[in-house]
């Protein structure tokens, strides 16, 4: 292809798990045909990275090229901006968590439901009609009186 006619795009690397291949997402906008609002669209391109210099999150420029594989029709021209990754070691992360746990004083826990004494059930207690019966060792649910609204006197 002629250099002047080749398309170029700028996008963000979202996957670098393959050998010499990166997946680049290019964001573009167009106006909605009915509502005339700008709509963001995303295109994913598999691009050839010969030197394997691209990392996840990098901003790269890609250029259209001849088909290199079933899905690769683009190649990485240059890395425009590197993604900054904080230099934190896993041992440092674990150390801060352990220090925070040691710094928090342990508070006595409230007694759980298993330790709390259960209210006594009398043998003569019967649930009102429409309420579920309590089994052995369970407390019967308290019945709530039904309310009547004004104008409901003749309904019953």
| Domain regions of the chain by residue span | 3-81
Distance from chain centroid for Cα 21: 27
Question: Among candidates 8, 10, 13, which has minimal Cα distance to 82?
Answer: 13
Output the average pLDDT for the chain. Answer: 78
CATH fold group of domain 3-81: OB fold (Dihydrolipoamide Acetyltransferase, E2P) (2.40.50)
Q: Which span out of 78-82, 89-93, 143-147 was modeled with the highest average pLDDT?
A: 78-82
Mean pLDDT of all residues in 82-90: 70
CA atoms of 10 and 80, how far apart (whole Å):
9
End-to-end CA distance of the chain: 90
- Name which residue leads in pLDDT, 83 or 14: 14
Quickly count: other Cβ atoms within 10 Å of residue 20's Cβ. 14
Torsion angle, alpha carbons of 105, 108, 109, 113, to 10: 170
pLDDT of residue 20: 95
Q: What is the Cβ-side half-sphere exposure of residue 14, based on CA atoms within 13 angstroms?
A: 12
- Name which residue leads in pLDDT, 127 or 17: 17
């Amino acid at each position: 292809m002629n250099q002047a006619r080749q398309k170029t795009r700028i996008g963000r690397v979202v996957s670098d798990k393959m050998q010499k291949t990166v997946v680049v997402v290019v964001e573009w906008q167009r106006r909605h045909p009915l509502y005339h609002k700008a709509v963001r669209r995303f295109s994913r391109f598999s691009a050839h990275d010969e030197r394997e210099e691209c990392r996840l999150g990098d901003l790269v420029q890609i250029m259209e090229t001849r088909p290199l594989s079933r899905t690769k029709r683009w190649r990485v021209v240059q890395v425009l901006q590197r993604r900054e990754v904080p230099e934190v070691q896993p041992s440092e992360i674990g150390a801060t968590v352990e220090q925070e746990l040691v710094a928090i004083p342990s508070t006595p826990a409230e007694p759980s439901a298993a330790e709390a004494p259960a209210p006594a059930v009398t043998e003569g207690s019967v649930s009102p009609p429409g309420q579920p019966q309590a089994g052995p060792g369970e407390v019967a649910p308290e019945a709530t009186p039904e309310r009547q609204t004004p104008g409901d006197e003749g309904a019953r």
